[in-house]
Each structure stands twice: as C-alpha cells, then as structure tokens.
Amino acid sequence: MAKDSAHGPDIGVVGMWVTADGYIRQELRADGRYDEARGSRASAYTGRYTVTGSHIEYVDDTGFTATGDVRGGVLYHEHLVLYRERPAS
C-alpha cells in the first residue's frame, strides 16, 4: 500500500499530478502503484511508491529509484514540479 503508517500519515497523494505544461502526467494510485505518461507516450514509467510523512519513494518496474516531496500541495519529484489535477467542473 502507499500508506506507511509506521512513519506518519498518508498525505493524500492519490490522484493525477501534472507539470504546468501538461507534458508529464503522473497517476499515483491507491494500490501503491504509479503510472507516468510523457507527451504522447502512455505508461512511459510504471512502478510502485510508498509515502512516509510528506516524502515519496518511487521504485519503477526496472528497479530505478527516485524520490519526491509534497510541499504546499505541490509535488517536487526529482527535477520535476507537478500540480494536482483537479476534475473539471
């Protein structure tokens, strides 16, 4: 699961996160999996993630690792800045 209760509360990261230009779209699913699209390339990166406090650890399906942090409702994932996508009203 994406929640790591031994290290703090789940910060509510589940959902779609996108860069300001919409080129990178990262879906963080409730089952602890993620799916990242880049441009027209769907599922460019897939893997699992865990949350500890406001910190996210990623391990993609090839074994590559990355990290991220949520600060002020913004996801800072390595060199990327992603914003939560809100459903259209």
pLDDT per residue as tens digits for the range 33-83: 999 999 999 999 999 999 999 999 999 999 999 999 999 999 999 999 999
Are the C-beta atoms of 88 and 77 separated by less than 8 Å?
no
**CATH domain 5-84 topology:** Lipocalin (2.40.128)
**Domain parsing of the chain, residue ranges:** 5-84
Q: How far apart are CA 85 and CA 89, in angstroms?
A: 12
pLDDT per residue as tens digits for the range 1-17: 444 444 444 568 999 99
| Residue 16: both structure tokens together | 């779609």
pTM of the model: 0.84
Are the C-beta atoms of 48 and 56 separated by less than 8 Å?
no
